[in-house]
Amino acid sequence: MACCVKELAEKRMARLMAAMNLEEPDRVPLVGVGGDVIPAYSGLTMEEYYFDTEKMVKAIEKFIKDFPCDWPFAALIAGLDGRVFNVAFSEYPDLSINLTFITGPMHKVLGDKYYRYPGMEISVDSSPQFIGGTFMEADEYDKLIADPVKFIAETVLPRACRNLENPRQAMATMMRLGREIDNFNALMGQIVGKMVENGYPAMAVGGAYAPLDLIGDFLRGVENVLLDLRRYPEKVKAATEALVEPITNYALAHKSMGANLAFIPLHLNEYLSPKLYKEFYWPTLKEIIERLVKEGFKVMVFFEGKHDPHLETILELPKGWGIAYFEKTDVVKAKEVLKGHTCVMGGLPMSLIVGGTPEQIDEHVKNLLEKVKPGGGFILAPGVSTAPRETPAENIKALAEAVEKYG
């Protein structure tokens, strides 16, 4: 049995690596759905799932057993994005890699204003929410540029986190946060263990971030940063450049956990014209990606929304740099543009998985794979990996069956 499980994991890993390396695998790899449907499938509230680790592990194991895929990437996401904390601790590599996700218990300890968790600020069956906020004033760009780590750690976080507002309180909070980090690492160890037991590859995934997204998501707020591009263009540009080093340092720290894949979710990309994208967003994101590739990483970038106006810029990256994961961009068009250069991932609208029928899913997968399968370099995945609670189980099964049939 152990031999069969190991062989299955190796087969799935080979499939994924072939696609990443722009080769044609034995079958198109499938990345599974995750998110709210996982606790719903086990009859858990969202509060139970995010605050009871034993229940979370059991729910994930049940889900990945019953709905097989090649890579249950979304099942590894146990919290909300915490990249501002990664930057604040980037000078301490052993700590920074532990704060990519802020879990429900971490949020409770920090008393932060970035997130809302079920059973706390929202109802027990609501999805965790990232709401961001404005914790830096426009006249503070010079401080951010001069020393981004110091400014974020000593000025931004005490404003954003109620339990970091004064030194004595901050000391107690950091000790409690350390306990929750230990709990989170134990949780991830259990989840990865269950994946290995069920024939999934144990892929260690690190992370990085686009500098302008960090400013928009965690410091200035999205609306303010979009206005800042017009009001203080040189300040914004200098700030993104100043953030490259701490973000890269945080990303490279994942080498210590054996990671050779870095995940970067983008947010502001679809809000920017090609001119603004190329001037303020792409240069520093490109630099971070290139530096990671030089250090032996593959990079998986989630191009949120419709990235069509910026597709050609991806060709500026080194051939085989990683995975372009698209939410709403036409993956057929993307494959045509990026063929032989970049692995393309996506192609499954969440609206189809939630609201379609098994027959419609079968037809969609058949038609899509006929166009994108030849030549390899493609991974089939939901446009958004987090599926809502009401996602029909029969649709998830139909998806896996269609991939086996046509992939």
Contact 129, 116 (CB under 8 A): yes
Q: Quote the pLDDT of residue 295.
A: 96
Residue 132 has pLDDT above 90, yes or no: yes
User: Is pLDDT of 90 > 90?
Assistant: yes
pLDDT in tens, 230-278: 999 999 999 999 999 999 999 999 998 899 999 999 999 999 999 999 9
Architecture of domain 2-77+180-406: Alpha-Beta Barrel (3.20)
pLDDT at 14 over 60: yes
Model confidence at 77, pLDDT cuts 50, 70, 90, reads confident
Q: Is the dihedral of CA 299, 305, 310, 311 positive or negative?
A: positive
- How far apart are alpha carbons 254 and 87 in whole angstroms? 13
Find the farthest-apart pair of alpha carbons in the chain and give their distance in angstroms, rounded.
63
Residues 343-374: tens digit of each pLDDT:
999 999 999 999 999 999 999 999 999 999 99
Confidence of residue 75 (pLDDT cuts 50, 70, 90): confident
Structure tokens at 135: 């914790």
Question: What is the model's pTM?
Answer: 0.96
What is the per-residue pLDDT for 2? 62
Residue 202 has pLDDT above 90, yes or no: no
- Average pLDDT for 321-344: 97
Task: List, in sequence order, every beta strand (DSSP E) within 128-267.
Answer: 129-130, 205-207, 261-265
Q: Cα angle vertex 167, ends 166, 173, to 5°?
A: 90
- Write phi, then psi, for 130 (nearest 5 degrees): -95, 125
- Asked if residue 313 has pLDDT above 70, the reply is yes
Q: What is the pLDDT of residue 157?
A: 98
| CA 186 centroid distance within chain | 20
34-48 pLDDT per residue, tens: 999 999 999 999 999
Q: Residue 74's pLDDT band (boundaries 50, 70, 90)? A: confident
Per-residue pLDDT band for 301 (boundaries 50, 70, 90) equals: very high
Mean pLDDT computed over 369-380? 96
Read off φ and ψ for residue 387, nearest 5 degrees. -90, 140
User: How big is the CA angle at 266 (ends 248 and 312), to the nearest 5 degrees?
Assistant: 95
Question: Could you give the 3-state DSSP secondary structure of residue 152?
Answer: helix
**pLDDT given at position 3:** 67
